[in-house]
Chains A and B, each alone.
Chain A
Amino acid sequence: MSAEAVPAAPGYQHLLDVQDLVMEFPVKGGGIFRKVIGKVQAVSGVSMHLDAGETLGVVGESGCGKSTTGRAILQLHKPTSGSVKLRGAELTTMSHEDLRAVRRNLQIVFQDPYASLNPKMPVNDIIGEALKIHGLWEKDGLERVGDLLKLVGLSPEHGNRYPHEFSGGQRQRIGIARALALEPEVLILDEPVSALDVSVQAGVVNLLEDLQDTLGLAYFFIAHDLSIVRHISDRIAVMYLGKVVETGTRDEVYGDPKHPYTVALLSAAPEADPHSERSRQRIMLTGDVPSPLNPPSGCRFRTRCWKAQDLCAEVEPPPVDHGGGHLVACHFPVTDISAETSSAARHMAGGDAAPASGEYPGALKLRQDTVAANRDAAGAG
């Protein structure tokens, strides 16, 4: 029933299609007039798509633009340029009234269940508000809210309580029930479990999977926890500093990562297994993510990449298809992970890898300094 609410254009290819999305925020200076002195490009030219019933996991570190992308899709931030199409209908140019209708089909669950529920409203009103706004509140409204609560594993009696009476996991379930009230096709899940304790997290993840199976939802799943993303996603997009560096199916990205950043990210993520955790080799990236105010030229990852060469500073690598839609934006994609890991680890350990020093001068130097300082300190103490 919700599908008719959206002015559908015929012949669309994907349920949700994002092309070259750019999101800039102005940086204002001091003084009375707060003149705009610069801009931060939080999202610069992101393209991704989502099909019905699938989960796209979007991973990346803080500040990489993954949440901003989610909000720009929903038009909570007006994108600077680019296109967002839901069922072929362009959202970026749509009027507010039309957008409201579209949002019945496109809902969001926020990260912090403590901040996203109004503390002054009982749960029935929190969930029912969505129905009222869209003119769908009828005589059986309360019943519908009760059904939604049951759907997310709470009981209808909970409806008269206020958010503070619930635990974090229960609140997140309320947030999910609110998002589901309008029977959307696409849910944008912005770090839905990262504020929850581990044992509670698993319950919410299971719930999301069950809902997807029964209601055929498509998830745009934003997270920084790589193990959860691996568990829940069909396809994965890895973002770094406002750009998508690698997209592919879960097995492609986790099993055969091509972009050096993906390789490093996967190797840095700790696993709850003492033996593998102590024996595996890690690629230790040096430094932090550069400021988006002043991103590096060419490839944005080159300042921390052990494979970077002159070309990377000059030419921005375009996304290249490595077969079956596995897109990688890198001039020198990784081919053999284990060989790459050990060679990168060797470079970074500052060992006898002499030819590498030209490639990776900064990190090598830093590492030798600390080793020397360590030795001195140990000798002195």
Chain B
Amino acid sequence: MTVPPTTPPDDVPGGSIYGPATEEIPELFQVYEPSEGVELTPSRTSSVGPTGTTEVLKVENLTVGFPTEDGLVRAVRGVSYTLHEREVLGIVGESGSGKSVSSMAVMGLLPKSARITGNISFRGQNILSMSKNEQRSLRGRKIAMIFQDPMTAMNPVYTIGFQLAEAVLSHEVMSKKAAMARAEEMLNLVGIPQPKARLNSYPHEFSGGMRQRAMIAMAVINNPDVIIADEPTTALDVTVQAQILEKLIEVKDAFNAAIVLITHDLGVVAGMAHRTLVMYAGRPVELGTTEEVFYNPRMPYTAGLLGSIPSAGDTGRLRPITGAPPSLINLPDGCPFSPRCPLADDKCRTVEPELLPTDTIDHLAACHHWDRLAAAPDPTAFFRTESEAHR
């Protein structure tokens, strides 16, 4: 089987961090395209639809390790993805799967002790090789983040208005008054009533939903290209969650931003994301359009997750995945999911599968036996037979 590249080839060769090379090189491609009949790369033709075609963020083979007394914690092992303009990429996984750490690496927010390798490029500029100052000018301006818990993400002793204006003033030269006006505009945009009066409120005076709205306002105040939302609604109630998610989509469309949505809630991803990346034990194990991943999972872990959720009308037994995720210090040989996997055989326990295309070129999975899932009418049924055999 020939193996197409898992990520589209880099069409931005080099290009200085500072220079405008990023604007010029795609034009060169376009000159040759029609006349010479040069084949387009797969990513260019396939990524049509509501998202843009320009890559804004590209993560290649990212690894993150934390040295500890017990050994190196390999929190992220080889994450690669691309994010296009206006795209929502959902990253799903259980606690400890590396979904948050990989996005913290993109933001440059990991502690000094973290050992990071790989490539993270934002519009062709490699973030990891940037100086601290260059990173700082990107962070919060071009790449913004929405944190899970708005109460701890905001400073309790400054007003909301001050904190929003601070985000503007640290990147742009403007008067405080103008920054405050911009803060008010943003609060209005995210649906906070009486924004002018609310500028003088402190975070504790806001309810949970309002705080998260203010967080979104802070994230988009500099008109970012990428918003990383790390469990943006996990701390909220369902009725408020629905409001916040809708607001997030509205804001994304208003600013033409792309979103990396990190969550453990498959329902949230189902409704929001164009593409879904499933992570397990620090590795991406499945990547594809949200429909493909949810309706035709090609990695047993994804199938197991889907089978663990009670669905409407199904009152039978749930199909849990047995066992627990592995320790990141002491990973099992071969596929990290093999100890819990009903399909695992000797190959799985010795050779770790690569993330490779399955039935379509855009649907990648890291499984030796994805074809067995493809052949099964109901991939979650593998887990049912095991859990029943277990008793």
| Contacts from A to B (Cβ < 8 Å) | 61-62, 167, 169-170, 197-203, 205-206, 209, 224, 226-228, 230-231, 254, 264-265, 268-275, 277-278, 282, 284-289, 366-367, 369-370, 373-374, 377-378, 381
User: Does B223 touch A at the CB level, under 8 Å?
Assistant: yes
CB–CB B270/A231 < 8 A:
no
Query: Given A203-B320, A231-B314, A370-B189, 7 other A-B contacts at CB below 8 A?
Result: A198-B264, A201-B320, A265-B239, A274-B295, A366-B193, A377-B255, A378-B253
Closest to B325 in A: A197
Q: Does B47 contact A (CB under 8 A)?
A: no
- Smallest Cβ-Cβ distance to A380: which chain B residue: B185
Q: Contact mask B299-325 → A, CB, 8 Å, 1/0? A: 000001111111110110111111011
- Distance in angstroms from A261 CB to nearest chain B CB is 9
Taking a contact as CB atoms closer than 8 A, the residue among A268, A275, A381 that contacts B241 in the complex is A268
- A49, chain B: closest CB distance, angstroms: 23
Residue of B nearest to A170 (CB): B324
Stretch from B32-40, B127-135, B173-181, B242-250 contacting the other chain: B242-250
Which chain A residues border B310 with CB–CB below 8 Å? 202, 205, 227-228, 230-231
B271 touches A278 (CB 8 A): yes
Task: Determine whether the beta carbon of B308 is less than 8 Å from that of A198.
Answer: yes
Cβ contact within 8 Å between B239 and A373 = no
Partner of A206, one of B189, B240, B320, B324: B320
> Nearest Cβ in chain A — how far from B67, in angstroms?
22
* 15 A-B residue pairs with CB within 8 Å: A198-B305, A201-B308, A201-B320, A202-B309, A202-B321, A205-B318, A269-B238, A270-B242, A271-B312, A272-B306, A273-B270, A273-B294, A274-B270, A282-B246, A366-B193
- Is B271 in contact with A206, judged by CB distance below 8 angstroms? no
- By the criterion CB–CB under 8 Å, are B309 and A198 in contact? yes
User: Which residues of B sit under 8 angstroms from A170, Cβ to Cβ?
Assistant: 324
Decide: A226 near B237, CB < 8 A? Known: A202-B308, A202-B319, A381-B255: no
Instruction: Say yes or no: B243 contacts A271, CB within 8 Å.
Output: no
Closest to A280 in B: B271
Please pick, from A198, A230, A288, A369, the residue contacting B240 in the complex, using a CB distance under 8 A: A288
Q: How far is the CB of A64 from chain B (nearest CB, A)?
A: 9
User: Of B12-20, B205-213, B351-359, which stretch is located at the interface?
Assistant: B205-213
Contact A286 B308 (CB under 8 A): no
- Residues of chain B within 8 A (CB-CB) of A199 are 94, 304-305, 308, 320-321
- The reply to whether A270 and B270 contact each other, CB–CB distance below 8 Å, is yes
- For A271, the chain B residues whose CB sits under 8 A away are 267, 270, 311-312
Q: Does B191 contact A (CB under 8 A)?
A: yes
Q: How far is the CA of A199 from the CA of B380 in the complex (A)?
A: 12
Given A201-B308, A268-B239, A288-B210 contact (CB < 8 Å): yes
Task: Give the one of B189, B243, B271 with max A CB within 10 A.
Answer: B271
A231 lies within 8 A of B239 (CB): no
3 A-B pairs with the lowest CB-CB distances in the bound complex, closest first: A270-B267, A202-B320, A231-B310
The docked-state distance in angstroms from the alpha carbon of A371 to that of B251 is: 11
CB 8 Å contact bits of B178-210 with A (1 = contact, 0 = none) = 000000010011110100000000000001111
Taking Cβ atoms with an 8 Å cutoff, the residues of B that contact A are 94-95, 185, 188-191, 193, 207-210, 223, 237-243, 246, 250, 253-256, 264-271, 290-291, 294-295, 304-312, 314-315, 317-322, 324-325, 387
Residues from chain B with a CB closer than 8 A to the CB of A288 are 207-210, 240
Residues of A within 8 A of B308 (CB): 198-199, 201-202
A289 to B295, CA, bound (A): 36
Cα of A148 to Cα of B241 in the assembled complex, Å: 39
Q: Write out the residue numbers on chain A whose beta carbons fall within 8 Å of the beta carbon of B254.
A: 374, 377-378, 381
Query: What residues on B are CB-neighbors of A209 within 8 Å?
Result: 317
| Chain B neighbourhood of A224, CB < 8 A | 237-238
B322 partner residues in chain A, CB cutoff 8 A: 203
In the bound complex, do residue A202 and residue B189 qualify as a contact, i.e. CB atoms below 8 Å apart? no
Secondary structure class of chain B's binding surface, majority of residues: helix
Are B317 and A206 in contact, CB atoms less than 8 angstroms apart? yes
B315 near A231: Cβ-Cβ < 8 Å: yes
Report chain A residues within 8 Å CB of B317. Answer: 206, 209
Give the distance to chain B from A272, nearest Cβ to Cβ, in Å: 4
A275 lies within 8 A of B291 (CB): yes
- Closest chain B residue to A254, Cβ basis: B312
Asked, given contacts A275-B291, A370-B250, whether A61 binds B309 with beta carbons under 8 Å apart, the answer is no
Q: In the complex the two chains form, is B268's CB within 8 Å of A270's CB?
A: yes
User: Given that A202-B319, A203-B322, A273-B270 are contacting pairs, would A282 and B188 also be in contact in the complex, using a CB cutoff of 8 Å?
Assistant: no
Contact between B271 and A274, CB atoms less than 8 A apart: yes
B174 shortest CB reach to chain A, Å: 15
Report B243 CB to chain A, min CB distance, Å: 6
Question: Of B189, B243, B265, B325, which contacts A270 at CB under 8 A?
Answer: B265
Q: Known A203-B322, A366-B191; judge A374-B250 contact (CB<8 A).
A: yes
A286 and B305: CB pair below 8 A?
A: no
Measured in the bound complex, the distance between the Cα atoms of B270 and A277 in whole Å is: 7
Asked if B267 and A269 make an inter-chain contact with CB atoms under 8 angstroms apart, the answer reads: yes
Instruction: Report which residue of B306, B314, B317, B387 has the largest number of chain A beta carbons within 10 angstroms of its beta carbon.
Output: B317
What's the least CB distance linking B88 to chain A, in Å?
12
- Check if A270 sits within 8 Å of B94, measured CB to CB: no
Given contacts A206-B320, A270-B265, contact A61 B271 (CB under 8 A): no
A198, A199, A224, A287 — which one has the most chain B CB atoms within 10 A of its CB? A199
Chain B residue, CB-CB nearest to A209? B317
Identity of the chain B residue whose Cβ is nearest the Cβ of A365 in the assembled complex: B193
Which B residue sits closest to A288, measured CB to CB? Answer: B207
**Nearest neighbor of A291 in chain B, beta-carbon distance:** B207
Shortest distance from the beta carbon of B144 to any chain A beta carbon, whole Å: 15
CB neighbours of A62 from chain B (8 A): 237
Q: State the Cβ distance, B236 to closest chain A Cβ, in Å.
A: 9
Q: Which residue of A lies closest to B92 (CB)?
A: A198
Contacting residues, chain A, for B320 (C-beta < 8 A): 199-203, 205-206
User: For the complex, what is the distance from the CA of A370 to the CA of B238, rounded to whole Å?
Assistant: 21
Cross-chain contact B267 with A272 (CB below 8 angstroms): yes
B316 nearest CB neighbor, chain A only: A231
Q: A170 CB to closest chain B CB, in angstroms?
A: 8
Query: Whose C-beta in chain B lies nearest to the C-beta of A205?
Result: B318
Q: B315 to chain A: which residues have CB within 8 Å? A: 231
Which B residue sits closest to A269, measured CB to CB? B238
